[in-house]
Amino acid sequence: QVQLVESGGGLVQPGGSLRLSCAASGFTLDYNVIGWFRQAPGKEREGVSYINSNDGNTYYADSAKGRFTISRDNTKNTVYLQMNSLKPEDTAVYYCGARRARAIYTAVRYYDYWGQGTQVTVSS
């Protein structure tokens, strides 16, 4: 059974950091693209960052560039999102999604498997 489990969310002050984890089970990261997405109240889910497990390529939305870093540990079958310099507008539920593909697709509709999400709240 394919499963993605996010963890690492929480409450952090502006300027702080969090590291989110996306643990995969029932499949390996190989041959998959993993994306981190977020959804704020009243807004659509949007892509934040992606990693292609085939070649290690990464992609960041403009909102994440320079602040977020996506990485993977194939031995743990886990993808991470290191988030630094967090802002109140980063507040959202963060989800990871997986798609078996050779290239990065950024649209939400292309992702086949999803985790349950983890809440990130940036507030003083």
pLDDT in tens, 79-104: 999 999 999 999 999 999 999 988 99
Higher pLDDT, 81 or 1: 81
Can you tell me the distance from the alpha carbon of 63 to that of 47, in angstroms, rounded to the nearest whole number?
10
Express each pLDDT in 101-118 by its tens digit: 889 999 999 999 999 999
Work out the percent of the chain whose per-residue pLDDT is above 70: 100
pLDDT category of residue 30 using cuts at 50, 70 and 90? confident
Express each pLDDT in 32-50 by its tens digit: 999 999 999 999 999 999 9
Mean residue pLDDT across the chain: 95
pLDDT of residue 74: 87
Can you tell me the distance from the alpha carbon of 78 to that of 67, in angstroms, rounded to the nearest whole number?
20
Question: Residue 28 above 90 pLDDT?
Answer: no
SS3 string, the chain, reads CCEEEEECCEEECCCCCEEEEEEEECCCCCCEEEEEEEECCCCCCEEEEEEECCCCCEEECCCCCCCEEEEEECCCCEEEEEECCCCHHHCEEEEEEEEECCCCCCCHHHCCEECCCEEEEECC
Higher pLDDT, 75 or 7: 7
Q: Can you say whether residue 101 is alpha, beta or left, with left for phi > 0 and alpha for psi between -120 and 50 degrees?
A: beta
